């Protein structure tokens, strides 16, 4: 089993002929993801890599291929419309990799998608991978292994680092979800914790947060109330100075709310094993499983 993406994922790549879209479409195809269609307005009728049909609209792509998931690589100024289009076409799941979508735009995208029953992962996220089954986004497939750990993270390369530590020491993953570092995102920690709790194959959960906001504190409360599986957590930004933006728009600490110390304390209180450094992930899992 796995969460959000699996062998049944039939993927549309929005922006398949662009620089990033074409590179990652190939990577996903090599990994074994069912890439059933691409969308680039004006390039309908072409074939990507001689195999994948390209359509002018997402609606055409769904009608012709029965796609249920889309991944967005279009430039930031077109990303919101790409999300609206996919939702209007009836997409079940959208993964928006694109970075730089204005936050005010997201305040409108989120309710629009919710009203149409479409799940969004991201924006500004590395996507999701269920090792051996499907990869949607940009997480390098070769660092993942099939197994029983669920990974959820706000980060990109830090997630890879932790997946790498897990795989190297024999802890494969059911699914790894990068939810994105922006202040307003479609799928949060709680959504992923609920999915991993419900997934019978997942034996333990690794949650990687960072400074800024209160998502991790809310997630800790959720763990206390609803999660029976062992959870191991990490917070990046323990040494970040207050009030400074650290690359991710989400990672701003102002005042006392959102500091690493506060989040680690919330984890600890919820019985989540807190890593001091990425290399702690395996020893802590070994203690708990």
CB 288 within 8 A of CB 273: yes
CB of 143 to another protein, least distance (A): 7
| For another protein, the closer CB: 158 or 265 | 158
| For another protein, the closer CB: 47 or 108 | 108
| For another protein, the closer CB: 36 or 106 | 106
248 classed as catalytic: yes
| For another protein, the closer CB: 47 or 114 | 114
CB of 159 to another protein, least distance (A): 7
| For another protein, the closer CB: 50 or 115 | 115
DSSP 39-98: E-TT-TT-EETTTEEEESSHHHHHHHH---EEEE-S-HHHHHHHHHHHHHTT-SEEEE--
The beta strands (E) that lie in the chain are given as 10-14, 34-39, 47-48, 52-55, 69-72, 93-96, 119-121, 127-130, 134-137, 146-153, 173-178, 204-210, 231-236, 273-274
Reading the block at residue 4, the tokens are 């959000």
CA gap 259, 257 in Å, rounded: 6
Residues, the chain? 289
CA gap 31, 53 in Å, rounded: 19
CB of 44 to another protein, least distance (A): 27
CB of 107 to another protein, least distance (A): 4
Of the candidates 24, 148, 164, 248, the residue annotated as catalytic is 248
CB 235 within 8 A of CB 158: no
CB of 64 to another protein, least distance (A): 30
CA gap 21, 166 in Å, rounded: 28
CA gap 89, 91 in Å, rounded: 6
State the residues that interact with another protein by CB under 8 A: 76-77, 99-104, 106-108, 110-111, 126, 138-140, 143, 153-161, 164, 181, 183-184, 208, 210-211, 213-215, 234, 236-241, 244-251, 254-255, 260, 276-279
Looking only at Cα atoms, what is the longest distance across the chain?
56
Catalytic residue ranges: 248
């Amino acid at each position: 089993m796995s969460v959000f993406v699996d062998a049944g994922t039939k993927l549309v790549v929005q922006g398949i002929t662009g620089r990033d879209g074409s590179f990652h479409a190939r990577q996903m195809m090599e990994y074994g993801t069912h890439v059933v269609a691409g969308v680039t307005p004006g390039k309908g009728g072409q074939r990507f890599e001689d195999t994948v049909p390209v359509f002018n609209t997402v609606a055409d792509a769904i009608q012709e291929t029965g796609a249920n998931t889309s991944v967005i690589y279009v430039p930031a100024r077109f990303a919101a419309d790409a999300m609206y289009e996919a939702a209007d076409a009836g997409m079940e799941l959208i993964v928006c990799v694109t970075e730089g979508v204005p936050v005010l735009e997201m305040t409108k995208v989120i309710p629009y998608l919710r009203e149409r029953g479409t799940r969004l992962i991201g924006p500004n996220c590395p996507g999701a991978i269920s090792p051996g089954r499907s990869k949607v986004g940009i997480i390098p497939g070769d660092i993942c292994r099939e197994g029983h750990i669920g990974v959820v993270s706000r980060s990109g390369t830090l997630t890879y680092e932790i997946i790498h530590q897990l795989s190297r020491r024999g802890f494969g993953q059911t699914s790894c979800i990068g939810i994105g570092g922006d202040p307003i995102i479609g799928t949060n920690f709680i959504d992923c914790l609920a999915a991993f709790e419900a997934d019978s194959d997942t034996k333990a959960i690794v949650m990687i947060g960072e400074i800024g906001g209160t998502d991790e504190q809310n997630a800790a409360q959720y763990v206390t109330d609803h999660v029976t599986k062992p959870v191991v957590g990490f917070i990046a930004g323990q040494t970040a100075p207050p009030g400074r933006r650290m690359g991710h728009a989400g990672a701003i600490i102002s005042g006392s709310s959102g500091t690493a110390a506060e989040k680690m304390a919330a984890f600890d209180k919820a019985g989540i094993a807190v890593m001091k450094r990425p290399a702690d992930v395996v020893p802590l899992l070994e203690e708990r499983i």
